[in-house]
């Protein structure tokens, strides 16, 4: 065995480690550009608390009434006031974003301390009126967590609730596997005990992120000015 | 018809409708054609007239390794492992490392190994095959680095990234098993029996570390699998990770135990023969 081949071996092993790290670095998320613009108050809180949501100017907890899966009227603002609340407009036939969101939130809450679990309300609004029947919504949510609240309504009620939450109403999008998909907001809206929405969450928040954020917001709330 | 060069992590919902990966077919075809060409055209000039170019057992081993390599790389296992189920990936990894590589090596006659290892540019691989301890380190280094979450999550969505991982896993396993001896190679192999046993025992210990991380981690480690649509509705990302950890932790054991037993048996026979001669 000549020394050249041995040097080549070490070079190859080093190259593997380097190439793997470089490929990972090149393909990874680009870091935020350095900017001299000062952070907004919300962004500062997000940074200080290490939250995973996106800050936005606070919006009031929306005021709408829909029907829960037991058939009773559910006044969203009154029922959830003062509690950390996650609100999501989705549909039970969703092939991707909705089940991933709910699976991750449910998994995070299962790992969370009981104090956190007790003080978080998760509300799902089924925006696909023809297919999101009370029974279907209940079954779908029970798959993740039986404590999650499911709401349904007529097309008009659903649209009004989305407008109240300052999100564009969902609409039938395209054919999919013999049915159709619905274009809807992929964000989860989070309301803090001060009855304001300071944060919304995009797709892609990991279970560990949910666990961290829900615990921080239940225990500390949104910092007062 | 869904066609792509190589399996990679996709954002699309998992479907059991077949996907086609011509890159995988080309590599498999090249491997098969290369083997047949070497046996028919090159082999006769490399062995004595009264020796077979390749034995039936070697052809069977190579064939079995080739079929398993294809099954582990192509749809559905390869596609599931690339982006939907960590368990599928782990089955694929264990297959490459502990089944496919030893079978391919067992199916390769010594003259063919020499031919491949002397090919231009393969000097480093040859050097690795002649240094068992280094091969052992390299195998575990590749195992560790390629399973770091940011490496895996970045490479898996890229077709050539996943291809790179598949190739490197197979190559390093081939180098490792060449260095310490594949199943049934012990008698002709030059490595001291004790060193071989140490390497195999080491192999039973080191993969338990990442395996334990998978099993005991509170949350999913890889975003690739955490955010994938579920291939099986009742099988959560966390459950998937636990099973994958058990596959890595426990699933590798039977193969390594068989290899360890074989190595010990051959060593004991060699010692008995030596004692008889004395």
A4: nearest CA partner in chain B: B123
Angle at A41 between CA A38 and CA A45, to 5 degrees: 110
B224: nearest CA partner in chain A: A204
- Res. A32 pLDDT band, cuts 50 70 90: very low
pLDDT score of A33: 45
* Euclidean distance between CA atoms B93 and B146, whole angstroms: 11
pLDDT score of B5: 97
* Residues of B whose CB is below 8 A from A174: none
* Euclidean distance between CA atoms A70 and A135, whole angstroms: 9
* Euclidean distance between CA atoms A97 and A136, whole angstroms: 18
| A55: three-class secondary structure by DSSP | strand
pLDDT score of B3: 94
Question: Mean pLDDT over residues A47-75, rounded?
Answer: 95
* Euclidean distance between CA atoms B169 and B99, whole angstroms: 12
* Euclidean distance between CA atoms A209 and A105, whole angstroms: 9
Q: Which residues contact A126 (CB under 8 A, 6 or more apart)?
A: A90, A91, A92, A132, A136, A137, A150, A151, A152
Q: Name the interface residues of A facing B (CB cutoff 8 Å).
A: 1, 4-6, 8-9, 11-13, 16-17, 19-21, 23-25, 27-28, 95-96, 99-100, 103-104, 107-108, 111, 143, 203-204, 206-208, 211
* pLDDT value at A34 more than 60: no
Q: Which CATH number fits domain A41-219: 3.40.50.620, 3.40.30.10, 1.10.600.10, 2.40.30.10?
A: 3.40.30.10
pLDDT score of A49: 93
Q: Which residues contact A225 (CB under 8 A, 6 or more apart)?
A: A41
The side-by-side arrangement of strands in the sheet containing A149-152 is: A54-60, A196-201, A188-191, A84-90, A120-126, A149-152, A65-68, A73-75
- DSSP-derived letter for residue B263 is H
Q: Name the interface residues of B facing A (CB cutoff 8 Å).
A: 11-13, 123-128, 130-131, 134, 138, 141-142, 145-146, 148, 150-151, 154-155, 157-158, 161, 164, 168, 218-220, 223, 226-230, 233, 236-238
Q: Which of B9, B117, B151, B221 to mutate to test the interface with A (most CBs of A within 10 A)?
A: B151
B124: nearest CA partner in chain A: A9
Question: Mean pLDDT over residues A105-124, rounded?
Answer: 95
pLDDT score of A224: 83
pLDDT score of A4: 61
Q: Which of A10, A18, A20 to mutate to test the interface with B (most CBs of B within 10 A)?
A: A20
* Euclidean distance between CA atoms B219 and A42, whole angstroms: 27
- DSSP-derived letter for residue A200 is E
pLDDT score of B94: 95
CB–CB of B226 and A207 under 8 A? yes
* Euclidean distance between CA atoms A24 and A11, whole angstroms: 19
The pTM (predicted TM-score) of the whole model is: 0.84
pLDDT score of B196: 84
Q: Is the ipTM of this complex over 0.90?
A: no
- Res. A11 pLDDT band, cuts 50 70 90: low
Pairing of strands A188-191, A196-201: antiparallel
Q: A160: exposed, middle or buried (C-beta count within 10 Å: 0-12, 13-18, 19+)?
A: middle
pLDDT score of B76: 96
pLDDT score of A31: 42
* Euclidean distance between CA atoms B149 and A168, whole angstroms: 36
CB–CB of B123 and A207 under 8 A? no
Tens digit of pLDDT at every position of chain B (278 positions): 789 999 999 888 888 999 999 999 999 999 999 999 999 999 999 999 889 999 999 999 999 999 999 999 999 999 999 999 999 999 999 999 999 999 999 999 999 999 999 998 888 889 999 999 999 999 999 999 999 999 999 999 999 999 999 999 999 999 999 998 876 666 667 777 888 888 888 888 888 888 889 999 989 999 999 999 888 877 889 999 999 999 998 888 888 888 888 888 888 888 888 888 76
Residue in the block written with tokens 């559910």: A74
Q: Please state the separation of Cα B201 from the chain's center in Å.
A: 18
* Euclidean distance between CA atoms B84 and B69, whole angstroms: 19
CB–CB of A206 and B223 under 8 A? yes
Pairing of strands A84-90, A120-126: parallel
Burial track B82-121 (b if 16+ CB lie within 10 A, e otherwise)? bbbbbbbbbbbbbbbbbbbbbbbbbbbbebbeeebbeeee
Q: Which residues contact A67 (CB under 8 A, 6 or more apart)?
A: A73, A74, A134, A151, A152, A153
Angle at B245 between CA B101 and CA B170, to 5 degrees: 20
| A196: three-class secondary structure by DSSP | strand
- Res. A57 pLDDT band, cuts 50 70 90: confident
- Res. A28 pLDDT band, cuts 50 70 90: very low
What are the domain boundaries of chain A?
A: 1-37, 41-219
Q: Which of A1, A23, A104 sits opposite B154 (nearest CB)?
A: A23
Instruction: Calculate the average pLDDT of chain A.
Output: 88
A13: nearest CA partner in chain B: B138
Contact B145, B151 (CB under 8 A): yes
- Res. A3 pLDDT band, cuts 50 70 90: low
* pLDDT value at A29 more than 60: no
* Euclidean distance between CA atoms B55 and B106, whole angstroms: 11
């Amino acid at each position: 065995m000549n020394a050249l081949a041995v040097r080549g071996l070490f070079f190859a092993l080093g190259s593997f480690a380097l190439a793997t790290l470089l490929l990972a670095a090149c393909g990874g998320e680009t870091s935020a550009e350095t900017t001299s613009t000062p952070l907004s108050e919300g962004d500062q809180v997000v940074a200080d608390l290490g939250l995973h949501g996106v800050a936005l100017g606070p919006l009031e907890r929306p005021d709408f009434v829909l029907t829960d899966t037991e058939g009773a009227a559910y006044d969203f603002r009154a029922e959830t006031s003062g509690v950390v609340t996650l609100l999501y407009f989705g549909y039970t036939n969703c092939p991707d974003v909705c089940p991933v969101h709910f699976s991750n939130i449910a998994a995070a809450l299962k790992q969370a301390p009981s104090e956190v679990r007790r003080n978080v309300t998760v509300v799902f609004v089924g925006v696909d009126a023809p297919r999101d029947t009370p029974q279907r919504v209940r079954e779908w949510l029970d798959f993740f967590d039986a404590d999650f609240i499911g709401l349904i309504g007529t097309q008009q009620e659903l649209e009004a609730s989305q407008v109240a939450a300052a999100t564009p109403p969902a609409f039938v999008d395209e054919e999919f596997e013999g049915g159709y998909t619905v274009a809807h907001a992929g964000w989860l809206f989070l309301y803090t005990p001060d009855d304001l929405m300071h944060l919304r969450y995009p797709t892609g928040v990991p279970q560990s992120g949910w666990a961290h954020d829900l615990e921080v917001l239940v225990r500390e709330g949104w910092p007062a000015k | 018809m869904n066609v792509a060069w190589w399996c990679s992590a996709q954002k699309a919902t998992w479907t059991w409708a077949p996907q086609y990966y011509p890159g995988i077919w080309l590599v498999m075809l090249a491997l098969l054609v290369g083997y047949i060409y070497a046996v028919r055209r090159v082999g006769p000039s490399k062995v004595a007239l009264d020796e077979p170019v390749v034995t039936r057992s070697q052809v069977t081993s190579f064939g079995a390794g080739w079929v398993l390599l294809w099954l582990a790389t192509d749809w559905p296992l390869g596609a599931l492992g690339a982006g939907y189920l960590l368990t599928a990936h782990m089955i694929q990894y264990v297959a490459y490392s502990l089944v496919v590589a030893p079978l391919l090596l067992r199916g390769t006659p010594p003259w063919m190994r020499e031919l491949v290892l002397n090919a231009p540019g393969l000097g480093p691989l040859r050097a690795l095959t002649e240094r068992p301890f280094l091969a052992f380190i390299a195998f575990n280094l590749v195992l560790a680095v390629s399973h770091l979450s940011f490496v895996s999550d970045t490479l898996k969505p890229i077709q050539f990234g996943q291809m790179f991982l598949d190739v490197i896993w197979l190559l390093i396993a081939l180098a490792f098993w060449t260095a310490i001896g594949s199943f049934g190679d012990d008698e002709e192999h030059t490595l001291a029996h004790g060193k071989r046993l140490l390497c195999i025992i080491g192999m039973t210990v080191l993969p338990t570390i990442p395996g334990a991380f998978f099993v005991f981690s509170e949350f999913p480690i890889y975003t690739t699998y955490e955010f994938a649509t579920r291939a099986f509705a009742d099988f959560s990302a966390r459950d998937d990770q636990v099973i994958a950890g058990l596959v890595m932790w426990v699933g590798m054991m039977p193969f390594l135990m068989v290899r360890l037993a074989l190595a010990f048996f051959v060593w004991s026979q060699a010692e008995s023969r030596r004692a008889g001669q004395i």
